[in-house]
Structure 1
Amino acid sequence: MDILSKMLEALVITLREGIEAALVVGILLAYLRKTGREALTRYVLLGLGAAVLASILGAVLIQRYGLDPENEVLEGTVMFVAAGLVGSLVIWMWRTGRSVRQRLEGRLDTLVGPAGMTVGSRAALGVFAFAFLMVLREGVETVLFLAALSGTIGANPLYNALGGGLGLLLAFLFGYLLVQGSVRINLHRFFGITGVVLLILVGKLIAGGFHEFFEVGLIPSSPFWLEVVGLFTRETTSLLVLILLIALPGLCLAWDGWRMLPPTPVPETRAADRRKHLAGFRRARRWTVAAGTGALTISLVLGTFLAVQATRGYDPTPLKVVPVDGAIRLAFPEDEKIHKHVVDVEGVPVRFLLLKRKDGSVASAFDVCYICPAKGYFQDGEQLICKNCDAPINEATVGMTGGCNPIPLQANTDGSQVTVSMTELARGQDRFAKR
């Protein structure tokens, strides 16, 4: 489930950005054909290739000098930068979605000169630069978005690579269909719908940035803001964003496909040409409806996974224990599941947990971290998951300090019994009293 959600999140980002690049290149190539400048097509393709190589170079540099998993400041900064880029993209879509073709054509007229003009170095350089910069913008944004996802809670670069590669493949298919005229969509509606959902992604990235800064104490936090940040960083929220990103554009495509009207027959047109135009219309409608239906089908499957996600993990009810001679004495855990307990410390219920590691040792900690509200943890495989922000904690790091790790609790073991002093448990009293 975690692998699927991470791959799909990367897939949606590269697909969305790839579609943006395909849209720009498609309009550019169509414009050159319409104005009789097919000779400039190769410079568009050269610009596209150069932009792809530059984006790959950027990805290599980020991989070589990029995100340190322990550098919360860098992770948070990249997330804020990515959020700013997504926000600017939404503004661009909303402002230009209705007239994107006209605006691009106006800018191209300035670059290549009037129709029929001999292809020269100025025109070739202008078209090359236009294609390079427009596609490079999408490529760089994609790299930064994937870098931000690699820094988000629970991410794995391998999942990003697999999902991102599949997203680029689908974007290439979309671009091919767009250039061939087989997919015709209402750009204004498409941009408007996806823009709303991308704003949710902006909120998620901003929340992730704040979470990283909260961990290192770079900015002060409060219970209210930690609740808000936790809502956006949870795995279920990520999956819901994915569903919206896929379902809403899918509805847009399906709606446009069903409402697509056949071409109006012209009396002077030959019968063969009319049949050709009608066949093209039917082909475009089939592809548009199929794309929309496929997106809605994927969303339905993701919705099923989301329902399963809500019931994942093992979260036992804490057992109430009573101190004897100033200490709590418990049997040594026999399995590798978390064992939760709660003890009254001057009227404050203090929760703690014990976990037997694979090497046979026992990890002991309070059922609360340093920064989030005292909601505790549940177990998912070999990890503990923070109930507030979904941060995964490897069992090997339980007992270490910092961030979303459970606050360490000193305990003594003799192989058959675990002993925790009330003095040690009293250290967590204030943390639980602030709920």
Structure 2
Amino acid sequence: MLQSVLQNLIPVMQNMIMAVIPLAMLLALTGKDQSGTVKKRIWRGILWGLAGAAFIATVKLGTKAVKREVYESLVLVVGLAGETLLLGIFLWNNKRGAILEKYKLLGVTSCVVAITALLYHGLELFLFPVDLITYTNELISLEFLMKVIGFLLGLLLTWLTGLAILRAASVLSSRAIGNILAAQLVVIMAKQVLVVAQVMMVRKILLTSKGMMPFMGPLINHQIWFLYLLLAVTVILPIALILQRKPAKPEGLNPAQYRKILITARKKMRWSGAVALGLLVICLFSTVGMVYADQKTEIIPAVPMAAEDGQIRIPLEKVDDGHLHRFSYQSSTGEVVRFIVIKKSGSAYGVGLDACEICGVTGYFERDNQVVCVLCDVVMNTATIGFKGGCNPIPLEYKVAEGKMIVPVDGLEKEKNRFK
């Protein structure tokens, strides 16, 4: 069950943290704007981005009118333009030392960055619950509950880390926040450029050469590296706070006033510790947790069965233990047709192909006394095996006679093309 939790926690956490980290830093930076105008525009952008992602998810699922790769590429191109302008503002600020209120473009640019970040990363946030309901056979089940818990824990961890980053960064100077945010944006933009380039390569808009592939291939296959790099850059934030010296007592302050200064300093350390802890947990989930979540259960090989007089006969004592049993039959034209048998209750058995209409011939395995689809990891309701629908195995006819289960070969021959 822990594996099921991690399989849903990790993707939502990795996806949303790429948007939450820069947005938290932006909010911390604009907190220095005493007018509050820029911060309001960022929050407006966050709300518009979430609303837009929810709308696009609905359109995509309802009409299939939106091709995801086209949508995401357009969003990223607009986002890249906004992030480039934002980097330009930071560079100009470092050179001139101007205050935030002087940049009229900062509010608009920050709003655009917030919108595009959530239009891109927030889409999965709204697609996940729909996919979960669509591909789960039983909504009232422990498996469904574990997936929901994983999803919610991923969101909670992301939100808490973002909150810690916001609070910790707020005590730094505008210049320090801007420098860290600029480094984060460079990492995020590099990943976005890679995603857009990948789409353009697939659609033959961007022609590739032999010299490009050794460089592009590893980056495309290991995009998780950008998350690790973003976490590494963000670690600069707690380090900067920890390196700050203990505040000296200013002249003329009484002990009570100095204690307030020390309390503020201790709060800085707590928030810096919270940021470091959040980044560490995310890193551990994205490394050790992913290894565990992606662990594949060993699938027992199917037992070859020979036919006699057009029938396969399986002694009942071989399948009476309530566990999943996999068998195979070589058809007249050479295809190896796999089928499964499991005792449900009393004299009832679930018999079907080791394949379903949705996931094809990837088959099933047993985990924690449950029958699970190899491809989508959906747990089958044992009582429904042998019936059509959902991710259930494609049912096969059988009968029980003289202590044996009899499976007609005709039914297997009819389905052999599925296993080509």
1:170-181 alignment, distance < 5 Å: 170-181=161-172
Distance 1:378 1:352, change over 3 A: same
**Which deviations, in whole Å up to 9, do the C-alpha atoms of 1:234-284 show, x marking residues without a partner?**
xxx9xx977x56533222334787799989xxxxxx9969xxxxx999998
Whether the 8 Å CA contact 1:22–1:175 is kept in 2: the answer is yes
Q: Give, in whole Å, the separation in 2 of the partners of 1:398 and 1:200.
A: 46
TM-superposed deviation, 1:2: 1.7
The aligned amino acid for 1:325 is: D
Distance 1:252 1:391, change over 3 A: same
The aligned amino acid for 1:160 is: F
1:279-318 alignment, distance < 5 Å: 291=275, 295-296=279-280, 298-313=282-297, 315-318=299-302
Provide the residue aligned with 1:343 in structure 2.
329
**Which deviations, in whole Å up to 9, do the C-alpha atoms of 1:167-207 show, x marking residues without a partner?**
233223222322321875644543343455668989999xx
The aligned amino acid for 1:175 is: L
Percent of aligned pairs with the same residue?
Answer: 16
**Aligned partner of residue 290 in structure 2, secondary structure:** helix
1:313-392 alignment, distance < 5 Å: 313=297, 315-332=299-316, 333-346=319-332, 347-357=334-344, 361-370=348-357, 374-381=361-368, 382-386=370-374, 389-390=375-376, 392=378
- Runs (5+) with no aligned partner, structure 2: 137-146, 200-219, 252-261
In the alignment, structure 1 residue 247 sits paired with structure 2 residue 228: yes
Whether the 8 Å CA contact 1:315–1:378 is kept in 2: the answer is yes
TM-superposed deviation, 1:329: 1.9
**Which deviations, in whole Å up to 9, do the C-alpha atoms of 1:329-361 show, x marking residues without a partner?**
224432443210011212332211123447974
Q: Give, in whole Å, the separation in 1 of the partners of 2:328 and 2:340.
A: 9
Provide the residue aligned with 2:26 in structure 1.
24
Provide the residue aligned with 1:426 in structure 2.
413
Q: Give, in whole Å, the separation in 1 of the partners of 2:242 and 2:40.
A: 37
Q: Give, in whole Å, the separation in 2 of the partners of 1:418 and 1:204.
A: 52
CA RMSD between the two structures: 5.3
TM-superposed deviation, 1:161: 4.0
Of 126, 143, 158, the residue aligned with 1:167 is 158
In the alignment, structure 1 residue 13 sits paired with structure 2 residue 1: no
Q: Give, in whole Å, the separation in 1 of the partners of 2:338 and 2:311.
A: 15
The range that moved more, 320-329 or 47-56, is 47-56
Q: Give, in whole Å, the separation in 2 of the partners of 1:392 and 1:429.
A: 24
- Runs (5+) with no aligned partner, structure 1: 33-37, 116-122, 206-231, 264-269, 274-278
In the alignment, structure 1 residue 410 sits paired with structure 2 residue 396: yes
**Aligned partner of residue 415 in structure 2, secondary structure:** helix
Distance 1:248 1:399, change over 3 A: farther
Q: Give, in whole Å, the separation in 1 of the partners of 2:93 and 2:357.
A: 51
Provide the residue aligned with 1:211 in structure 2.
none
Whether the 8 Å CA contact 2:305–2:312 is kept in 1: the answer is yes
Q: Give, in whole Å, the separation in 2 of the partners of 1:327 and 1:177.
A: 72
**Which deviations, in whole Å up to 9, do the C-alpha atoms of 1:133-153 show, x marking residues without a partner?**
654554554542312333557
Q: Give, in whole Å, the separation in 1 of the partners of 2:168 and 2:335.
A: 64
**Which deviations, in whole Å up to 9, do the C-alpha atoms of 1:263-313 show, x marking residues without a partner?**
9xxxxxx9969xxxxx99999899779845753454335533333345443
**Aligned partner of residue 324 in structure 1, secondary structure:** coil
Q: Give, in whole Å, the separation in 2 of the partners of 1:312 and 1:175.
A: 38
After TM superposition, the score normalised by the length of structure 1 is: 0.61
TM-superposed deviation, 1:317: 1.5
The range that moved more, 4-13 or 321-330, is 4-13
TM-superposed deviation, 1:62: 8.5
**Aligned partner of residue 378 in structure 1, secondary structure:** strand
Q: Give, in whole Å, the separation in 1 of the partners of 2:190 and 2:400.
A: 58
Distance 1:359 1:302, change over 3 A: farther
